[in-house]
Structure 1
Amino acid sequence: MSGALRKIVHVDMDAFYASVEQRDAPELRGRPVVVAKRGLRSVVTAASYEARVFGVRSAMPAVRAERLCPQAVFVPPDFARYKAISQQIRAIFYQYTDLVEPLSLDEAYLDVTEDRQALQSATATARAIRADILRETGLTASAGIAPNKFLAKIASDWRKPDGQFVVSPRRVDAFLLPLDIGKIPGVGKVMKTRLTAMGIATVGDLRSVDADLLVARFGRWGWRLHELSHGIDDRPVQPRRAASQVSAEDTLREDLPLAELTPHIERLAEKTWANHRRKQTRVARTVVLKLKTSDFRILTRSFTPAARPASAADVAAIACALRDRVEDDHLTRYRLVGGGLSGFVDAETQPLQASLL
């Protein structure tokens, strides 16, 4: 551990979208609910705990969810309603602290180091927040309480649903070292496979690896893994966190080969540029292309030119060039195209794009 001791709470709503649907339609309570449109091209937005018993998970193709759980009730998502409830929940957070960092509609970090409500502990504060959410919205939330964001996020999943778990400073090692390496946020299937090949199965194994070796293998992410294995995370809760990316994506009406994606990339570049101009006071340096294949593999490519993109046409040209970097076997078909802008900086620090690639 390093830095000043903080009291961080990570609040995570329980199966939020599905729970809202069950709350508002009593006949759905106790039944497996899948928030998704039916159809070959639809994906699961959320699943109730009753549906998760059958293996249904978010981001899964809806047709697979239906095969796993034929008795599931499919409900189309209503994001306007979810957003309104999320704002109601955030208002509760602000009764306890001004240091609130929303991660999505259904989760947020709170720094409750200052005991505004005189509840004597972060544990009591988390319990009070969860009780307020239940009373005012009829929904349950889980919470993790720890000295930093990394540990709090892992802990919030420990006693789901409708529970909370505390990682006190003196219990960090006892909690952290036995954990499966996949519990570290950012360690997905590919990274876990690479770490397993190095003989790393737990956080304790990771801690025993020399930091220089991790950096040699994984660059800056290797150093980050070294820090996390020691429970070090000095990131503050950021109440007004700037967007890290502005993006737009569309699921295509039919799967297309790589060579036929140009008009879709250009259309999304226009949309992304418009979102950027409307929402961002800073400027973007990096263009991101996202593709999803018909078998749901996700491919991303990014490029940071010497001078920042100056128009939707610049974004489209760079994104199409990124498309050309994807290895094409002429058999693969793509179901989704996405475009994004990231790497935001102050406008005066970056010249306009003069020439492309």
Structure 2
Amino acid sequence: MDPSLSALFIDCDSFFASVEQHLDPSLRGKAVGVAPVMAETSCCIAASYEAKAYGVKTGTGIREARILCPGIHIVEAKPAEYVKAHHRVIAAVEDCIHVEAVLSIDEMWAWLPLNWRNPEFVRNLGQQIKSKVANDVSPVIKVSIGAAPNRYLAKLASKMRKPDGLFIIEQNDLPVALHELQLSDLTGVGRSMETRLHAAGIHSVESLCGASKEVLRGVWGGVLGDRLWYLLRGMIMPDLETVRKSIGHSHVLPPESRKPDQAWPILCKLLHKACERLRNHGLVAGSLTIQLGFFGGPRWSPEISFFETDSTLVLMRALHRLWRDRPEPHARLLQVGCVLGKLLDRSNHTPDLFGGTINESCPEDAAKHARLDQAIDRLRAKYGRQCVYMGSVHHSRDKAPMRISFTHIPELGIENDRRDDG
């Protein structure tokens, strides 16, 4: 038994596109691109492996995708279906091993019990998980699995034999097993960090693995360099504490919703979603940024600060102020978004005693707003998002349906959005 294998990482392959191929059998074996809206100005948020073979990837524009891959099938995203499939995959994996944590819409990991760490046992477990997902979810939805001495390396292992891969990195395989990777393949190494590594004379994963802690500490500018040095050697490191810095939503507008009077209700709806999430997390916000992308023009992202609040009505006033001051008020818009920032835990929040220009004028107003928000949140969670909503959202009822990214899984209340919005 090899006690070094402690982590198992499960990664769904081309998840959104695979779900689309599951839902529509005619798409199986064909190049598929998933778009947030059916517009040639949009981009692919996912691509099947058949499309990836032609160079189509996440972020590829629809027009470019059609050039790279003639005959590609572009489908509109179905976020609610992805969430359903996500939960079914989790249930299938849970039947084989306890899921320690769900990291994104298509990734999860599990601790390997001490008596399950034999490489052959792990290999059989991986095949069992694959069969379970195929039988209980769909034979079209594939998972790649990696196992290693720590979660960081297990994640790398899951990427190294995609698609439908199963790769095990044992302690005595290190660091040679990693040498086939590119620096950009490593979690935590983006473009700017890769440039810094090159400046330090590190141009390959092999040279990275051979670098000293002192060198990596200098490149990363602190203890994160030490942390990577230990992780690459198979050591288990405690998770870093993360603090939520912002909550936001954005939406690429379809052609029929790009006039300002049509875009405004959609922007309001996005803010209302963000406010719900803010309260669900027990937070208050001290700033609001709106993000406007003008058709054929520059982006505009002004920010306004205020005394911390979670009131939808108060934040709507701030949104209206920013919207009112936008440049070129008659210009068509391509994208709208909003971000709530300067977040603070509600338990550490001291109420505003004096009121402000956009905040409640008195404590009684704040209490009324809080009761209103609580009542609306409860009704929407129980009966769906369209049972009650602010009047400013009315003309967006069939617009801006639920969107999900690979790193954010909507809360249960948000998951009803697609069902109710059609």
Matched letter for residue 188 of structure 1: G
Q: How far has the Cα of 1:21 moved from its partner?
A: 2.5
Q: Deviations over 1:148-173 (max 9, x none)?
A: 22111111111111120001122232
Shift in Å at residue 48 of structure 1?
Answer: 1.3
Aligned to 2:373: none
Change in Cα spacing, 1:275 to 1:78, as seen in structure 2 (3 Å) is: same
3-state SS of 1:155 partner: helix
**CA deviation after TM superposition for structure 1 residue 91, in Å:** 0.8
Which residue does 2:214 correspond to in 1? 211
What does residue 29 of structure 1 align with? 28
Distance in 2, Cα, partners of 1:210 & 1:289: 42
> How do 1:230-241 and structure 2 match up within 5 A?
230-235=233-238
Partner of 1:160: 162
Asked whether 1:151 is paired with 2:153, we answer yes
Letter paired with 2:45: T
Q: 1:267 to 1:32 in 2, by over 3 A?
A: closer
Q: 1:56: how far off? A: 0.4
2:251: which partner in 1? 250
Instruction: Identify, as 1 or 2, the structure richer in helix.
Output: 2
Q: Is the contact between residue 110 and residue 237 of structure 1 (CA under 8 Å) also seen in structure 2?
A: no
Partner of 2:145, secondary structure, is strand
> Any idea what SS the aligned residue of 1:60 has?
coil
Distance (whole Å) between structure 2 residues aligned to residue 52 and residue 216 of structure 1: 33
- What does residue 187 of structure 2 align with? 185
Give the C-alpha shift of residue 122 in structure 1: 2.8
Q: Counterpart of 1:247 in 2: which secondary structure?
A: strand
Match of 1:142 in 2: 144
Structure 1 letter corresponding to 2:22: R
Q: Which whole-Å CA distance do the structure 1 matches of 2:227 and 2:318 have between them?
A: 34
Q: Alpha-carbon deviation of 1:131? A: 1.2
Partner of 1:110: 110
Q: CA deviation at 1:210?
A: 4.8
Change (3 A) 1:28 1:7: same
Classify the secondary structure of the residue corresponding to 1:40. Answer: coil
Q: Residues 158-217 of structure 1: CA distance to partner in whole angstroms, max 9, x if unpaired?
A: 111112000112223222355321111132223222322332222343341553663475
Distance 1:71 1:143 in 2: 31
Is the CA contact 1:99–1:112 (under 8 Å) kept in the aligned structure 2? no
Aligned-residue sequence identity (percent) comes to: 27
5 Å-filtered alignment, 1:39-78, equals 39-78=39-78
**Number of residue-to-residue matches in the alignment:** 336
Q: Is the 8 A contact 2:283 2:344 kept in 1?
A: yes
Q: Could you tell me whether the CA contact under 8 Å between 1:155 and 1:165 is conserved in 2?
A: yes
- Answer with 68-77 or 216-225: which moved more: 216-225
1:348 Cα deviation after fit: 2.4
Q: Distance in 1 between matches of 2:119 and 2:146?
A: 17
In structure 1, the gaps of 5 or more residues are none
Any conservation in 2 of the 1:307–1:351 contact (CA below 8 Å)?
no
TM-score by length of 1: 0.73
For the residue of structure 1 that corresponds to 2:175, the secondary structure is helix
One-letter amino acid of the counterpart of residue 181, structure 1? L
Distance 1:29 1:40, change over 3 A: closer
More deviation in 132-141 or 290-299?
290-299
- CA displacement 1:229-262 (0-9 Å, x = unmatched): 4444524699xx99775321122568x9xxxx99
Deviations 1:33-59 (A, max 9, x none): 112244233221221111111100022
Contact 2:213–2:225 (Cα < 8 Å) also in 1 = no
1:108 aligned counterpart, secondary structure: strand
- Shift in Å, 1:109: 1.4
Paired with 2:63 and 2:83, the residues of 1 have a C-alpha distance of: 27
Separation of aligned partners in 1, 2:45 and 2:61:
10
In the alignment, the residues of structure 1 paired with residue 298 and residue 154 of structure 2 have an alpha-carbon distance, to the nearest angstrom, of 30
Secondary structure of 1:121 counterpart: helix
**C-alpha deviation, 1:30, in angstroms:** 2.1
Aligned-residue RMSD, C-alpha: 4.5
Are the equivalent residues in 1 in contact too, given 2:285–2:310 (CA < 8 A)? no
Deviates more, 1:90-99 or 1:140-149: 90-99
**Aligned with 2:108: secondary structure?**
strand
Q: Work out the CA distance in 2 between the residues paired with 1:250 and 1:335.
A: 9
2:174 aligned partner, one-letter code: V
Match of residue 171, structure 2, among 169, 172, 178: 169
Contact 1:17 1:82 in 2 (8 A): yes
TM-score by length of 2: 0.64
Residues 143 and 164, structure 1, Cα contact 8 Å, conserved in 2: yes
2: CA distance, partners of 1:345 / 1:172:
42
Distance 1:199 1:297 in 2: 38
Please give the residue correspondences for 1:189-204 in structure 2 after superposition, counting only pairs within 5 Å. Answer: 189-204=191-206
- Aligned amino acid, residue 135 of structure 1: N
8 Å CA contact 2:18, 2:48 repeated in 1: yes
Q: Which segment is superposed worse, 97-106 or 222-231? A: 222-231
Partner of 1:12: 11
